Structure 1
């Protein structure tokens, strides 16, 4: 079992640039389409159980809107043996260089 780690929204840019990380946006499809972190895959929290192909050797960096859902899911995944990071404050706290906004 890996420990759950929380990271600041500012630290997200560090993980975006790493090949050993997978950034996961847990918000719904509409929210993701309006804006997200570059390279993030969208797996809505309510549909996460349907998603079966999580890479076991990558750090899973999860964010939601404000941080609550990502913290709960990161804790569950860490108990299953995944390396996880949860973004404190979620997408609302992120102001980094990898922000993608739809126009």
Structure 2
């Protein structure tokens, strides 16, 4: 599978109650993230795969995968699809999320931004 054939959605198509899987690293997450997103850095993804399958099952069966701009999330989406999981790459990543004015938070309450 090449990335061009991956299922992708625009930021506007991500439902407010959908499972948003953020695969950015810890420092990127700390700067700002979507409230309620599941954070599993790409570097830890295979080791924490069980958490993903559980969250997908609990979250309605589909994962919306996001990173900063869409490269890492495309790789994770490809892996998930190969494992038989309904996953879509969020086109444009967190930069598009921020640009669309979608809400962002930090764990410490500081102003959120995309690193």
Is TM (by shorter chain) over 0.5? yes
CA–CA separation in structure 2 for the residues paired with 1:48 and 1:74: 11
- Where do 5+ consecutive residues of structure 1 fail to align? none
Q: Deviations over 1:69-102 (max 9, x none)?
A: 1111101111111010111111111134332253
Q: Post-superposition, which runs of at least 4 consecutive aligned residues in structure 1 deviate over 6 A? A: none
Range with bigger deviation, 92-101 or 58-67 = 92-101
TM-score normalized by the length of structure 2 = 0.73
Identify the structure with the greater strand proportion: 1
CA–CA separation in structure 1 for the residues paired with 2:46 and 2:96: 26
Point out the structure with max Rg over C-alpha.
2
1:1-103 equivalence runs, <5 A:
4-12=6-14, 14=15, 16-17=16-17, 21-51=18-48, 52-53=50-51, 54-55=53-54, 56-57=56-57, 58-94=61-97, 95-101=100-106, 102-103=110-111
Q: Is the 8 A contact 1:4 1:84 kept in 2?
A: no
CA–CA separation in structure 2 for the residues paired with 1:73 and 1:44: 10
> Which protein, 1 or 2, shows the higher relative CO under an 8 Å CA cutoff with sep ≥ 6?
1
Number of equivalences: 96
